[in-house]
Amino acid sequence: MICPKCNSEMEKVKFDNIEIDRCTQCKGIWFDMLEHEHLKAIHDSESIDIGDPTVGHDFNKIDKIDCPVCHTKMIRMVDREQPHIWYESCAVCYGVFFDAGEFKDYKEKSVADFFKGLLSRERK
Ligand SMILES: [Zn+2]
Ligand SMILES: [Zn+2]
């Protein structure tokens, strides 16, 4: 698979029998339908998100991308609980793309409770 953001090769990474694709360059992560939801519920799954959030932040600005699976234009989504997280979603195959660091961030909220949410608010 080719990364929809930087056109580099993506590699398959397996975590607890769920296989995701991670870009070898920008470290963005592609999840097939609902895989990000499943992984979010698994302990330690944030270890797949090895990228530098600073790099992810830059790639986050690229929001006009085509789905790497079915080549449909993807839609930018905003996470309901954490509106600072933007990710791209395909309306046809339901895959989603998270930039480096975003999955970690996305996951933090569900594992941690609102205490952590309150503390990390200043981080931005
Ligand atoms: Zn990439
Ligand atoms: Zn698609």
Range of the domain at 95: 10-58+66-123
How confident is the model at residue 39, as a pLDDT? 96
Q: How many domains does the chain have?
A: 1
Note whether residue 3 is domain-resident: no
Note whether residue 51 is domain-resident: yes
Residues lining ion ligand 2 (Cβ < 5 A) are 67, 69-70, 72, 90, 92-93
How confident is the model at residue 26, as a pLDDT? 98
Residue 97's SS3 state is: strand
Give the whole-angstrom CA distance, residue 106 versus residue 103: 5
Sequential pLDDT tens for the chain (124 residues)? 999 999 999 999 999 999 999 999 999 999 999 999 999 999 999 999 999 999 999 999 998 999 999 999 999 999 988 899 999 999 999 999 999 999 999 998 755 555 555 666 555 4
Global confidence as pTM: 0.87
Note whether residue 4 is domain-resident: no
CA of 25 to the centre of ligand 1 (A): 5
CA of 4 to the centre of ligand 2 (A): 11
Give the whole-angstrom CA distance, residue 104 versus residue 119: 16
